[in-house]
Structure 1
């Protein structure tokens, strides 16, 4: 029964604990405590938080906004002084802490959402970054009081913590701690995965966010009673079936020996939840599991730390039980006395990493062993659950070797985020580009090395003025495209995935992988990418003149001459031909259309958007890739649509539609027109077959096109649009024919006749086609 007995129990716990407190302890080498917004130092138990004035040398911010609440009744915890003041950040601001010990550090951020003048802190939205780590992303809180605790591995001499307000918002902070922790608190080789029981690789480099820290069967343990200033909360609110659970206390039985105090205090190890008390040992009733359920985020791995201490048994080898994480039995037939060196009362912990979560609930259970002759009991003293912020879906994957890149430096004079890595990278890219394009403009460059680079989200925010809507230059299935400027003045196009987009992670990775392999004058260059939390962003070279589509139709269209149009088609064909004859395997673009052909300041065509691209077939085995139909309506290969067989000729069909757009100056699909005219391909080919193609030419160039050039161009488009893929030309043949059309145009403009008939020109063999191609590149 609850009541006086429970009160006596808790009082006895605290009395015993007060006698044992700090018999051992930890003195951190780095220990920064700041009460943000306060004009004087603040004492919290035996800890002193520096005032904003005293800590001003750590902070760089463009504007000092110090806030104070007058509504004291909202503050109820023992930390109340810390929540009465705050610092508000209207722009990007940084704390820089000198680090003397390169170990893990606690970073604790305190928040209290009160209202100060025009700042309602419950409406604030912001992100927090530090060296190679994303702590909070688009964070907001409506809670009166909250603490976000992170465990971060620090490897540099300065720890920079950056606060970035979201667009049209601000950031705030009531207090901050940066404190070093013992070397052995988080180890690498002792952590096992819950499904495979293999060592989890790379734990030392992971950023951990505390989800919950629970004292099983005991009272709340505040930070002043923990050697590492942690807070442990009671477990009642997480229990599934409290009726079968007993709480047990025997703090006198805890024996730390020479170490162990730092793992958890005696109040945690000396109290526990069990299935039964010792007097219940002979009962067969207690056969159900003890279960706790915790709220988590989907799509992450979690470090689960079980704290055990056998304060229950009277002798060795008498207590066996099972431990579960969700449906995984992680510790079967556990005997604490043998795990702790054939001794009772020795505290310790066991670490496990969960599989990637698919639910927003995490279940932890302990239950009786099925071994014969074993009493049906189980015990758990404490539990910690920590979210692993940046782990990949396969713990042993090589992808864990890549740590999130963040090139953040802070200048002496104030906050200046200097993207040295981006500047260096841009310089190298430009040098490479000059080398591969030097000489004849018609020469194709070879493939460049892998030059894709991770770029921190905060730098992208700066480049786009926090994604200012006035900088939007395009939109598509993936998301919005913004014009941005990097610190070195480099213009970039920034494509940001939108929530709920039909194109997601697979398309994002495909784009990065494809463009990291290629460099060609007629393919748009990838500058870098960002994948932090829910953000998927791609940065490309900025192509000044936008899409080919915008120049052909619509109110803002330009007056491209026929020769310019031919040269643009030739450039795009060169880019696609390069993909189809790649140095390793052919690549099928799968979304060729006029909006994916960009024009630079010199109207040089560049093929873009490789999110749907597929590595092409091994033509020595089979000529197609079986895959789901994807692409854009109006450009889709009908054979691919019917058979779900993607081939190189699928790109050829789509390019044939682009040729008709160039000729007719209209979109591939226009639902405002009569039914027979909606689809450009079918409508134009009807005119071509009747020999009247000249009647549907774009009026802007109708008087320029020479008959032979039109004939060759029309024939090329018709061949591209053949119903059967095998009858279509290769991209090499398309390129050859377009060059013929340009030469015919120029020859007739100059009143000359080519020395050699174009149709008689030799055609070198294309390794990826049964037909022949030109190598005029």
Structure 2
């Protein structure tokens, strides 16, 4: 994850016990799988959960001893609870079903506990290796997990937490939590089905009833950028993906409102580091009928993360990896506890989900009766399969002070819950990509494939050691060979960063383009021709860029493109599917962008004119993409070649930055904010300060983007030698017209009558500021984003009042510009 500094307040206080009684669950089942005893003691967290062993339980079938067996961990990490992780039940080749009668129909939490480590079989000296355990779990007609690996899930969890500096056990436990609506049968079945040549296992199962209207309801839902509107009713299953206590430590299950929910800290999901102030608030939380006391524990509403009323504004952002191809419910919990805010209008902020605005003016005082009153808001968003297959994508939640309320420059959040909604009766997603390079081999015999005999370990170690030595020597020889050929081409197989894109054979690429048939050509750039092709048996349309032998670009740009795009995933960046370096070729394969380049829709084209609001949306999208690149701290990226032909438009007119061949990583030395390099780029877009100093900075991208803004507004080439001297360079001409108040005279004639005066004034301000001669005086891309969003808001506000505003060229221009 990229990081940047966000100022915030971590606010905490202690209040009295709520006056109303907490929720009491009617169903509470805690099954300790693999255990033969009923435990009356508490777990290490001192919760009141009392775990019952499943060995002689009424919830298991009579053939439990022939279809499954119990086991204990070889070594239980000291930081992992004894209950339910000190025992496990393993299932052999056939499905195994637990049957749980419940007291009434309604929503129930179903939690599955896994501790993926080595286990000892009671009757042998052998170990069971859960690295090779793959299985599926279903309940009452819903698929919860498919070919699931608890080991992969734990490895992904460990990687996520360790990258944020959070200490967790060497082998973390995994808890999968689901919300199932039990209908009139009043039975909840949980079935474990081992994958072929594999075993399934489980450490613990929880079932806890949930208030009827807490999650299963349609009222109050806001849908984010979608036409299809899924409902959350008794035919929907949900999986909890995140439950975060914003701004403070984890809240354990014993401190929840009798539903045993665990609220994790949000530190490892915040986009950037932060420091701030703390404040104490001594009044109790005032729950209401709309937000009853079981909604979230007081500790959630007693803490928050806030931007603070600072002059240097950043988005307050959380990045949440989720499975693509599903709808998600995001529940945002708010409670004003900052003393200086006392009334409506004191603080107003915007809320964005996946770069889409969901609240223009979020004012917690407008939603509640005052300080100390909690409230939550629900939003549903769909996460697309951007890679053409189910994968893990980043879900973004961001907040920013409302730019139209400069005096209320703050934003805050207290808690966050994220749920995946079932699609076709399934919430099952793919396993996370393993962090290692080889997948464990599964033996053909399921009864022996997981077992390693301790008495044979020395031989295994010797064999493995020899194999590893051979692999290492082969790898060393390969590196030497590739370095000798490096001047010719680059194989991304040497670079770990290429793991997210695929190496293609020349045969595959030729098949996709009919042997590079010119009828497939859809464009030509500095790298070479671009072809439209079909891959995966004609199911995937791609854009294929082939290096031309006459191109000034070459190996270095090819390598940089792979290095950069294989590390990056963002809705505003084009996705790199794969590359080919066979036979001396250098070929890059991308997602196909149905609407081509931005320039194709501006001038020298037969395409229909693009509306002003669509142009403005595209500019905002590009700005967000550049902000993402620039906000990576030590891994911040300078694009280096921002121009209208490197801005692509997909079938939904979503703008995506492309062509990273000239991109550079910023220095890790924070005192050195530039990259020294020979001047490269495109005439008319290149930062003049970069030309003088040969020092490329983030502000060089800002300058190029400013040129694009004027290009979008005026719909003319950035260099036009056929015009008068002062008009040849669009950047200089645009700045001069803005300065003189004559910007209206040079806008695209096709936009006549479309642009509201306030919007034009703000847009011209942003473009001119981006083109300041001194890079230090140009705004950061984050500021550019919210200023452009403010311009869009001014346009929309004007249209609500009068419809699209017609601008008369004869009116006094100084009143507009």
With normalisation by structure 2, the TM-score equals 0.44
Which structure is higher in RCO with an 8 Å CA cutoff and minimum separation 6? 2
**Higher CA-based Rg:** 1
